[in-house]
Structure 1
Amino acid sequence: MFKRAYIALTCLTICLPVHAETPNLQPGIWAHTTTTTIEGPMSLQPQTSTNQECLTQAQIDKGVNMLEIPQQCIVQQVKVLRDTADFAVDCDIQGIKNHFIGHTNFHGDRMDGEMSSKMDSPMGTMVMKMNFTAKRVGACPAAE
């Protein structure tokens, strides 16, 4: 559940709503490295993951509409400027409430940021923190 929410919310920091500035990002293949920690009744050691994805100008232009935000989630805030993005999203998935907040810095061919989540679970409050860096590593493959 955390991974799916993270992917959607990371995309949210890359994408822009209709009334926002265009972020200082170049379309292409982006390599992401994310470190996640979870604190609470079930604390986990930091976990690092990497992935790559193609970000096209058409995707950037779709903004928030390209996301598959679960119906149980409500976007409370999205502010995208040329060099930064801030967001807040509340989710209620199967009775478990989760509040996400995040910030991203755009630098043209790289970006960095953090996101945190506070989840009220039956075991108690759990806090997830994610720090990420990403860089453009090349052009997207040509469509076949």
Structure 2
Amino acid sequence: MIEITSWLRIEDDEIVEKATRASGPGGQHVNKTSTAIELRFDVRNSPTLPDDVKTRLEALAGSRLTQDGVIVLFAQGSRSQEMNRQEARDRLVELIRRATEKPKPRRPTKPTYSSKLKRLETKGKRSGVKALRGRPKGDD
């Protein structure tokens, strides 16, 4: 069981981990050992996540989310399979933790009187500059 917050935990059977060969330099070691970890977590079919967290998590996942609603994380930074497994799990936990935070509702505000005046003054100056860019009048 993986603890996300004090009130949210994910069962180990909800996560699918697969060891694959890592890419990049490493000589013979990289060609014969499967140290990279591909972690998959099905967001849409998860029984433990609330619906609002699922929605925010899908938005946060971005390109890591498949068409079926599965988050795919790939960790290959370490030469150790166990360290890569822990790194992938940590990234998943952090992603879900960020999705549990409810966004602060935006309160619309009105522009102040002085900001309105400043905007109109700037518009007047810009229009004056642009008017000078035209052809001179009356010098034909």
State TM-score, norm by structure 1. Answer: 0.25
From the CA coordinates, give the structure whose radius of gyration is larger: 2
Q: Which has the higher contact order (CA 8 A, sep 6+)?
A: 1
Instruction: Give the strand-richer structure, 1 or 2.
Output: 1
State TM-score, norm by structure 2. Answer: 0.26
